[in-house]
Structure 1
Amino acid sequence: MKIVIVGSVASGTSVAAKARRNDESAEIIVYEKGPDISYSICGIPYFLGDEVSEISELIPRDKKWFEARYNVQMNINHEVNSIDPVKQTITVTDLTSGAIHEESFDKLVLATGANVVIPDVFNTRYSNVFPVRTMEDTRQIDSFIETNQPKQALIIGAGYIGLEIVEQFTKKGIQSTLLQRGSQIMSSFDPEVAFRVQDYVQQNGVEVHTNEEVSYIHKDESNHIYAVETTSGHRYDADMVILATGVKPNVTLAKQAGLTLGVTGAIQVDKRMQTSHEHIYAVGDAAESYLSITGKPFYHPLGSTANKTGRIAGDVITGGDLEFQGILGTGIFRVFELAVATTGLTEKAARADGWDVEVLYNLKPSKPEYMNGSELLIKAIADRASGRLLGAQIVGKEGVDKRLDVLATALHFKAHVKDLFHLDLGYAPPFSTTKDPVLYTGMALDNAIRHDRSLLSPSELVGNEADYQIIDTRSKKQFNVGHVHGAQHIPLSDLREKAGTLDSKKPTITYCNKGTTGNAAQNILINLGFDKVYNLSGGNKNYQQYLRYLDSAKKK
């Protein structure tokens, strides 16, 4: 059997490695357009910020190593120009010599990856404008910084890569301005969670501007951009411009071959990574995934998924039975000291998909305060009808990755929120609290869904405060500093005595600073016969943060 693979970053090399492990007799040929193989795209920001000292650390394997280890013919600097799906051949150009030849295949795998989305205004080649995708991009950025010592950088795009670049440039002494075309940074998060991160980034000296799209550039005679203007009329000066504008699947060859594309624009594949042609497969960033929670097509390019889909295709082609089980959209990144993570559905996505959701804002320390634990925010989403966990977003300075992976695992196995409380997680004071934030997340959501301990989020309360009887259970000093509009102050210790002064028939909200004492007050009133009592999710702290988010949104 002759297996031909187009592309050799994460998914292509995974196909070749798995196919060889399964079948020693197969002829395996790889074509790669660039000079590098199997490199870490996600590590690029950390090399640019000198956290990774040598670019070679991002390219652990070269052509010679891969050929020797896997007995694979690796052709770098070779571009595949076309596919003939009937004859089962491809045409290839040797970019070094210019020679063109035809190659036959029994099985063809498209690991063509994704391309950076270049805004039209930047379509011309400029001397100081750089995408962030390949090792060649990385070398050019590094060389430019070394030679020109830029003082100001403009980063277009506020997703994971944009924020990671901002962090690294700031640490490097390059003043950074972040422009985002949409109304929020981090579009895969709920807006009020994204605002927390934006606020934090701005506190670290970074200018962040949303609803800004570059419409005009100012350049000198050497094609060097020194400023841009946006559709809103603002001007931003810069010594260099980084395009972190997202990616789109590279489907040029697939379209030419007549392969079916999915609704996301990526190549449509089944669970065995097979395309609409029985002998052609697609993997990695070129292939369409699906969201395992809903079964709907989904596009979330990531190195971990690329490696996984490559392994599956390599196994299937050589007689294996692996099948792709979908993804959750899990992602995590670091910006300065903050870790930011998501998995599964956001509230916004869940509601748009028709779920009746219960929403929890869980503010808890990552470990005991006496061990210098810092606060985590877990925003968790669950289905009210079934009690099934649907998704979570987490922001904090430590312990975020641990909780993310636990919740992603729970989502993969379709856990219900009541299951989370019963997890036997590792505990010792240097690592966690006795009641881990994950356990508390499950307990609070289960209480809301199955035990009438209803939660109300700030988005549901703001503007509707007059519809509720609102009880602030904190100290008088805390109340005077700031409280929910329309709230009356009754400390928890006085609530039983003063409950008779309240209207037990009117919908009531209890709250404290973060949620725990508010829940205790909720229990008291419910047990005293109050008809409907809500606990304000995340307490006054979350409410005040939400007001700041709304105020910021109005100013945009």
Structure 2
Amino acid sequence: MRILVIGGVAGGMSAAARARRLNEQAEIIVFEKGKYVSFANCGLPYHVGGEIEQDSYLLLHSPASLKAELDLDVRTEHEVISIDREAQSVLVATPDGTETFTYDALVLSPGADAIVPPIPGVDLPQVTHLRTVDEARELAARTADAKRAVVMGAGFIGLETAEAFRHRGLEVTLVELAPQVLPPLAPEMSALVEKELRSHGVDVRTGVAATGIREGGDDAAVTVTLGDGAEVPADIVVMSVGVRPNSALAGEAGLELTDRGAIVVDSLQRTSDPHIWAAGDAIAVRHGVTGQVGPVPLAGPANRQGRRAADSIMGRVDEAQPVLGTAIVRAFGLTAAMTGASPRMLDAAGIDYFVVHTHPGNHAGYFPGSQILHLMGVFSPEGKLLGAQAVGPDGADKRIDVLATALRAGFDVDDIAELELAYAPPFGSAKDPVNMLGFLAQNVLNGTTKVWRFQDLDWARENALLLDVRSEREYAMGHLPEAMNLPHTHIREYIEGVKQLAAGRPVRVLCASGVRSYYAHRVLAQHGLDSATLDGGMFTLVEAVPGLELATGAFQPAHA
């Protein structure tokens, strides 16, 4: 049996390595058009920033090491230029000309191509991408003499690149067409990341795109013109505005593609041709929550897809699970992580849901170093977990990993509340943030907690008594102008006063994170008041409502 693999890195090399482990007699040839067949593309920004000092650390394997370890015939700088499905052969451009190879099984792992916006100046030498070892090596070298950089696109790679340049001492402007950085995040979670970027000197420009790049200007190599008329000087410009499936070869061969150009595969990674499989960033996958079909360019799924393709070639049945899109990124001192569907995705898919926010400590509050972890859960009306997001300086990764596992298992709020997670003061709390998310969602579902949300702010201002139950000092530092202050420890003492102030209106309670307002809400509800607690408290409100104006000054007791 001869197996040909087109494309190395994650999907292709996983397929080739797995095929060898399952079949010692197979002839396995890997064609990679670049110079490197197995490299850590997720580590590229960290080499640019100097955290990974040697570019050789990014090279995981070479053709020689793969030959010695797995008896794979790996041919770099070999580009497959056509597929003859009838003859079961491929035409390959080699350094010495073209050559035809026949196959019994063919695996496509061509990856994705960087999107290049159609604007003047993108072909200037100062403009580049960050997708290959050579590009990372070049960027790391150029930072020695550069002073200013512009990064186009504030997705995962864009954020990592901006951080890398700041580590090198460059002035950085980060430009994003969407109204927020990290568009996959909910806006109130993304706002936390944007603040972190700004606090480390990154000039963040959202809701705007570049319209052109020209040489020279303001003592810089190039000038980037933005859609709002602003001009930003730079010595380096990195394009990171997204990727599209590299499916031209598959399309020319007549394989089935989606409307957006991704290669269609079945649950065993087989394409529309029974002798051709595909894996990685070029294929379409089904999202595990929304059911929507499209590419999800992540290394974890690509590795599993390559392994599954090899299993299928060898006659094994290991059907793919839908992809959850679990992802994580570091932005200086913060980590942002997510799994499953966001509210925006669910809106687009027409799926009903509710959201809860909580802001616990990453570990026991009495143990030194406890820091706030911002956690958001998305649930179906019946309480099934649909997605989660976390932002914080520590602990976001393991909470999202737990919730990704819960999502794969189909857990609901009761399952999440009952998860038995490791606890010791340096690592967590007896009520872990994951459990707390479950408790909160349980309370919302069973009616113990009635919540109001940041989307209800205008209504609450017009129709309700706003009751801020933080301390007098917290209230004085910044509060909604309409909100009266009554610390939650005095609610019972002044319950009759609250009733008089409400005068038949609903009471909408708020605090910093939602904990104290929940306590107050339970007291008020059991005294017959129509009360509700602000989901996520002021932590969520100030991030979710841009430009929210807060009043400061003297304590104004609600019972006066």
Residue of structure 1 in register with 2:18 after alignment: 18
Could you tell me which amino acid in structure 2 is paired with residue 190 of structure 1? A
1:485/1:259 CA distance change after superposition, 3 Å: farther
Residue of structure 2 in register with 1:153 after alignment: 149
Moved more, 465-474 or 160-169: 465-474
Contact 1:484/1:543, CA 8 A, preserved across alignment: no
Residue of structure 1 in register with 2:372 after alignment: 375
Q: Which of 364, 383, 389 pairs up with 2:385?
A: 389
In the aligned structure 2, how far is the partner of 1:49 from the partner of 1:76? 27
Residue of structure 2 in register with 1:554 after alignment: none
In the aligned structure 2, how far is the partner of 1:50 from the partner of 1:122? 31
Secondary structure of 1:57 counterpart: helix
Q: Per-residue displacement from partner, 1:185-207 (whole Å, max 9, x unpaired)?
A: 11111122212211221111110
Residue of structure 1 in register with 2:360 after alignment: 364
Residue of structure 1 in register with 2:268 after alignment: 272
Correspondence list, 1:257-336, <5 A: 257-336=253-332
Contact 1:266/1:299, CA 8 A, preserved across alignment: yes
In the aligned structure 1, how far is the partner of 2:503 from the partner of 2:71? 77
Could you tell me which amino acid in structure 2 is paired with residue 21 of structure 1? R
Residue of structure 1 in register with 2:109 after alignment: 111
Moved more, 330-339 or 535-544: 535-544
Could you tell me which amino acid in structure 2 is paired with residue 72 of structure 1? L
Q: Per-residue displacement from partner, 1:71-91 (whole Å, max 9, x unpaired)?
A: 221111101001111221111
Could you tell me which amino acid in structure 1 is paired with residue 5 of structure 2? I
How far does residue 214 in structure 1 lie from its aligned partner after superposition? 1.6
Correspondence list, 1:52-63, <5 A: 52-63=52-63
Moved more, 489-498 or 183-192: 489-498
How far does residue 169 in structure 1 lie from its aligned partner after superposition? 1.0
In the aligned structure 2, how far is the partner of 1:481 from the partner of 1:123? 48
Secondary structure of 1:10 counterpart: helix
In the aligned structure 1, how far is the partner of 2:261 from the partner of 2:460? 42
Secondary structure of 2:491 counterpart: helix
Correspondence list, 1:442-521, <5 A: 442-462=438-458, 464-501=460-497, 502=499, 503=502, 506-521=505-520
How far does residue 14 in structure 1 lie from its aligned partner after superposition? 0.3
Residue of structure 1 in register with 2:45 after alignment: 45
Contact 1:155/1:178, CA 8 A, preserved across alignment: yes
Could you tell me which amino acid in structure 2 is paired with residue 290 of structure 1? R
Correspondence list, 1:60-79, <5 A: 60-79=60-79
Q: Which of 311, 335, 346 pairs up with 1:339?
A: 335
How far does residue 225 in structure 1 lie from its aligned partner after superposition? 4.7
Secondary structure of 2:528 counterpart: coil
In the aligned structure 2, how far is the partner of 1:329 from the partner of 1:114? 17
How far does residue 492 in structure 1 lie from its aligned partner after superposition? 2.1
In the aligned structure 2, how far is the partner of 1:298 from the partner of 1:464? 40
Q: Per-residue displacement from partner, 1:161-191 (whole Å, max 9, x unpaired)?
A: 1111111111111111111122221111112
Q: Per-residue displacement from partner, 1:121-165 (whole Å, max 9, x unpaired)?
A: 26753222111111122222233334xx10101111111111111
Residue of structure 2 in register with 1:172 after alignment: 168
Moved more, 71-80 or 503-512: 503-512
1:2/1:527 CA distance change after superposition, 3 Å: same
In the aligned structure 1, how far is the partner of 2:542 from the partner of 2:289? 32
Q: Which of 388, 402, 405 pairs up with 1:406?
A: 402
In the aligned structure 2, how far is the partner of 1:253 from the partner of 1:504? 71
Contact 2:196/2:333, CA 8 A, preserved across alignment: no
Could you tell me which amino acid in structure 2 is paired with residue 243 of structure 1? M
Q: Per-residue displacement from partner, 1:363-383 (whole Å, max 9, x unpaired)?
A: 111012332111010011111
Moved more, 117-126 or 311-320: 117-126
Contact 1:126/1:225, CA 8 A, preserved across alignment: no
Q: Per-residue displacement from partner, 1:452-488 (whole Å, max 9, x unpaired)?
A: 4122221232454222232222223322332234222
In the aligned structure 1, how far is the partner of 2:437 from the partner of 2:137? 44
Contact 2:84/2:90, CA 8 A, preserved across alignment: yes
Could you tell me which amino acid in structure 1 is paired with residue 222 of structure 2? Y
Contact 1:195/1:549, CA 8 A, preserved across alignment: no
Contact 1:117/1:245, CA 8 A, preserved across alignment: yes
Contact 1:5/1:110, CA 8 A, preserved across alignment: yes
Contact 2:147/2:235, CA 8 A, preserved across alignment: yes
How far does residue 278 in structure 1 lie from its aligned partner after superposition? 1.3
Secondary structure of 1:141 counterpart: helix
Residue of structure 2 in register with 1:141 after alignment: 139
Residue of structure 2 in register with 1:524 after alignment: 523
> What is the count of residue pairs matched by the alignment?
543
How far does residue 299 in structure 1 lie from its aligned partner after superposition? 2.3
How far does residue 318 in structure 1 lie from its aligned partner after superposition? 0.8
1:42/1:74 CA distance change after superposition, 3 Å: same
How far does residue 31 in structure 1 lie from its aligned partner after superposition? 0.6
Residue of structure 1 in register with 2:554 after alignment: none
Equivalent pairs: percent with the same residue? 34
Residue of structure 1 in register with 2:31 after alignment: 31
In the aligned structure 2, how far is the partner of 1:78 from the partner of 1:322? 31
Root-mean-square deviation (Å): 1.9
How far does residue 13 in structure 1 lie from its aligned partner after superposition? 0.5
